[in-house]
Structure 1
Amino acid sequence: MTKSTRKVALLSGASRGIGAAIAANLLAHGWAVSLGCRTPSEVEISDGDNQLVSHFDALDASTEQAWIDATLAKFGRIDALIHNAGIMLPVSVLEASDAEFDRTFNVNVKSPMRMSRLAWPHLQASGSGRIVMMSSLSGKRVKGEHSTLYAMSKYAALALAHSLRKIGDNSGIRCTAICPGFVATDMGTALTEVPAEKMTQPEDLAHLIRTVLELPNNASIAEIPVNWTVEDNY
């Protein structure tokens, strides 16, 4: 096992969109990154000394411990965990099958909970461990009928973030939920007719996330709602 001189962040869903932007931002500012992806070959960023790409599938719990183990073998530490992987099935809570419910909650809630448990001792050892939960404004209010199952999962993800923040307080672990509206990604552009250039950009969220990771322990940020336009209360 080697010991990285850089802080190390685990980042799920890192091959494209918001995840790729976060990885690029962290690497450019002195972090090492361990990227968990369903298809590692899709990762376009390359920084061999400070980057690890591992197979990770939120629907396959066995890949979680393997990813943790590979990260520790390469870097010897874990300082941050960024839960970015997620899915949105365009189905209402009345239409959703049990299988669709299980898939949504397994990816958006259960896997982040398990990954947090696995990484917890290493975040404690860091002394300034950080967790970022990519929630959504859909986790703070319910709007479209066909996004209600997704909203349920993101409400749960937001509660998970607050729970981890509470539990980690005395160990120097800070957890922040990032709650964006439409973001200029494949998923975001498929859900609305708003032009991509008007939406929040993945690079903007990446900047916010790195800021949260680098704040001192005496700055505990619970949530950051982010929207591309003015919306009542957000």
Structure 2
Amino acid sequence: MSDPRCVMISGANRGIGAVLAKRLFDAGWCLSLGMRSPAMPDWADAARVQVCAYDATDPASAQVWADAVMARFGRIDAVVANAGIANPQDVVSISDDEMNALLQVNVMGPQRLAKAAWDGLKVSGQGRVILLGSLSGKRVKSARSGPYSVSKFAAVGLAHALRHAGFDEGIRATAVCPGFVATDMAQSLTDRDTATMTQPEDLAQVIEMLINLPNTASVAEFHVNCQLEESF
């Protein structure tokens, strides 16, 4: 395949997703940007950028989006499942509906997205799936982070399961697990100075590196922290 590679990025309207989209656009990728309220970025060239409605809580949304990407670009080379939510309650206080929402967006959303794009990812023999996990998917820091950690532990497990499912087809899956990132979500959860957090640009650089690695350099997890704590 000699045409530009194509990446699907969920949650692409802000934060990590928006920064990653611009970085990959500048690197020559074609982009399909999944957003709950689709809006073309002001930097985008419509010849290489598609915006699509995507709702991680809607079981049908991922397949509709993947079909639109294949119809427009004829290929899917990478999927970055970036959309996610948090809920700062403990596992005893959180309601069933709130817990289900965390699992729907943070676990089932990425699973459905990878499944919908799977046939496209197999074609080149070098498909890539990046799941935005979290260091909260490696340890539980506090009671208030408990439900979020449950969902992110599952997301990290999902990345490993996808890596096994697609390895013989050339698909490589990685869980990218950051600590605090200077985004709206993090700022709503902590009073930490954003200057001391990992920056979205740092994660965009990491993700670009991971999706460019050859099949012989499979990375199961990539941990990124802004502070010194135990290793995982």
Same fold? TM cut 0.5: yes
Match of 2:29 in 1: 31
Q: Cα distance, 1:46 vs. partner?
A: 1.7
Matching residue within 203, 212, 229 for 1:214: 212
Distance between the aligned counterparts of 1:153 and 1:4, measured in 2?
38
Match of 2:58 in 1: 60
Q: 109-118 or 219-228, which moves further after superposition?
A: 109-118
Structure 1, unmatched stretches of 5+, are none
Q: Cα distance, 1:41 vs. partner?
A: 2.6
For normalisation by structure 2, the TM-score amounts to 0.97
Q: Cα distance, 1:216 vs. partner?
A: 0.6
Match of 2:80 in 1: 82
Cα deviations by residue, 1:117-150 (Å, 9 ceiling, x for unpaired): 1111111112100000000000000012111000
Match of 2:16 in 1: 18
Distance between the aligned counterparts of 1:4 and 1:106, measured in 2?
36
For normalisation by structure 1, the TM-score amounts to 0.96
Distance between the aligned counterparts of 1:43 and 1:148, measured in 2?
35
**Partner SS state of residue 40, structure 1:** coil
Structure 2 counterpart of 1:83, one-letter code = A
Q: Cα distance, 1:4 vs. partner?
A: 8.1
Distance between the aligned counterparts of 2:144 and 2:38, measured in 1?
31
Matching residue within 192, 216, 219 for 2:190: 192
Q: Cα distance, 1:35 vs. partner?
A: 0.3
Structure 2 counterpart of 1:87, one-letter code = I
Evaluate the alpha carbon distance shift between residue 42 and residue 230 of structure 1 in structure 2; reply closer, same or farther with a 3 A threshold.
farther
Whether the aligned pair in 2 keeps the contact of 1:4 and 1:77 (CA below 8 Å) is no
Distance between the aligned counterparts of 1:186 and 1:104, measured in 2?
17
Query: Which stretches of structure 1, 4 residues or more, deviate above 6 A after TM superposition?
Result: none
Q: Cα distance, 1:43 vs. partner?
A: 4.1
- C-alpha RMSD over aligned residues: 1.4
Distance between the aligned counterparts of 2:192 and 2:110, measured in 1?
30
Match of 2:225 in 1: 227
Whether the aligned pair in 2 keeps the contact of 1:15 and 1:44 (CA below 8 Å) is no
Cα deviations by residue, 1:3-38 (Å, 9 ceiling, x for unpaired): 981000010000000000110110011111100000
Where in structure 2 are the equivalents of 1:1-234 lying within 5 Å?
Answer: 5-41=3-39, 43-233=41-231
Evaluate the alpha carbon distance shift between residue 31 and residue 108 of structure 1 in structure 2; reply closer, same or farther with a 3 A threshold.
same
Distance between the aligned counterparts of 1:19 and 1:165, measured in 2?
22
Q: Cα distance, 1:64 vs. partner?
A: 1.5
Q: Cα distance, 1:154 vs. partner?
A: 0.1
Q: Cα distance, 1:86 vs. partner?
A: 0.4
Cα deviations by residue, 1:45-76 (Å, 9 ceiling, x for unpaired): 42211110000000112221221111111100
Structure 2, unmatched stretches of 5+, are none
Distance between the aligned counterparts of 2:77 and 2:23, measured in 1?
16
Whether the aligned pair in 1 keeps the contact of 2:131 and 2:174 (CA below 8 Å) is yes
How many pairs align? 232
